[in-house]
Amino acid sequence: MKTTVPHQTETTCLPILSSQNQGWENILVEQFQHPPGEGSSHYSDEHAICLSLAPRPVRLLQIQGGKTYTGLYGKGDVSITPAKVPFFARWDRDDHYLQIRIASSFIQNVARETIDTNSDQVELRSEFRNRDPQIEAIAMLLFAELKQENLGGRLYIESLANVLAVHLLRQYSALKPRLSVYEGGLRERQLSQVLEYINEHLNQDIKLADLAQLLGMSQFHFSHLFKQSMGTAPYQYLLQQRIERAKQLLKQTDQSIMEIAFLCGFNSHSHLSKQFRQLTGMTPKVYRGT
């Protein structure tokens, strides 16, 4: 947990895993495991989501902004603490959970791009103990990326962050916003523009924001329309194209697998090898020899 001091939060128990140094923007994911105890936190610019990973239910006393809740938390239970709301908890046995902190400014930006209301009025509700299959699914995908050191790439993390932000706005906003929905996929010219950009920048760190900005639309709606057009998410398409480029270089050049990895936008030999094997069933070295 965290201990609150004015305008600053000091860590009294370090996370087991953290995305702090993985280059993720707008979202921080950390895995914690504590013996029985208590702690408090106060995040001025972030909303905090906790997903219980405890194998056995843990009895928790929680206080959020003056409201108190006592009950058993089991694996899959979710709590939400909005930005600026002080949080205190006391637990009676070993606790294990995943904490996701998402920037309130990011939520406001998503709201500004996707909903028919003043984004400055967007406030999230506190939730003490809730079951939310979609939050749990997104959290576990982020957790998997955290354990693999972000092998899926920044585009994947940004996609998950956007889906999470929209879900929070839909389900936990104090004012029920109406989200604009676009159907039918991207126009042919738009799709060609995006695919050409991806092809020309495969060796670079392509962001979801870059692709959405090409077409002047929100990241959430871009992802939605791209998948309608291509039948696959932007991050999946990007990975497929990087693997196809790697196949070409493996067969047509004598460059090392390390060099090919960097030319195709992977951060290491092992990163390329893992993704290559998942999509083709063989390692780059074996593929080159076939």
So what's the pLDDT on residue 118?
60
So what's the pLDDT on residue 3?
33
So what's the pLDDT on residue 179?
61
Cα separation of 179 and 189, whole Å?
A: 26
So what's the pLDDT on residue 247?
94
pLDDT in tens, 64-100: 888 999 989 999 999 999 999 999 999 998 999 999 9
Cα separation of 257 and 171, whole Å?
A: 46
So what's the pLDDT on residue 112?
83
Using the 8-state DSSP alphabet, how is residue 137 labeled? Answer: H
Average pLDDT for the chain: 87
**239 to 243, 251, 267, 284: CA distances (angstroms):** 6, 19, 13, 15
The total of other beta-carbon atoms located within 10 Å of residue 234's CB is 23
Token pair belonging to 83: 């930005």
**In this model, does residue 181 exceed pLDDT 70?**
no
C-alpha angle 32-33-37 in degrees, rounded to nearest 5: 110
Length of the chain: 290
H/E run at residue 115: none
Instruction: Average the pLDDT over 218-232 and give the result.
Output: 89
pLDDT in tens, 195-216: 999 999 999 889 898 999 999 9
The residues spanned by each domain of the chain are 2-172, 188-231, 241-289
So what's the pLDDT on residue 177?
60
Half-sphere exposure of 125 (CA within 13 A, CB side): 14
Residue range 2-172 in CATH 2.60.120.10: yes
pLDDT in tens, 182-195: 667 888 899 999 99
**In this model, does residue 57 exceed pLDDT 60?**
yes
Token pair belonging to 51: 């997903």
Per the CB < 8 A criterion, the answer to whether 208 and 195 are in contact is no
Nearest Cα to Cα of residue 9 among 110, 101, 80, 142: 101
CATH dotted code for 241-289 = 1.10.10.60
The total of other beta-carbon atoms located within 10 Å of residue 246's CB is 27
The percentage of the chain sitting over the pLDDT mark of 90, rounded to a whole number, equals 56
Per the CB < 8 A criterion, the answer to whether 194 and 215 are in contact is yes
pTM exceeding 0.95:
no
**62 to 41, 52, 165, 196, 226: CA distances (angstroms):** 11, 14, 24, 51, 42
Residues 6+ apart with CB under 8 A from 57: 72, 73, 74
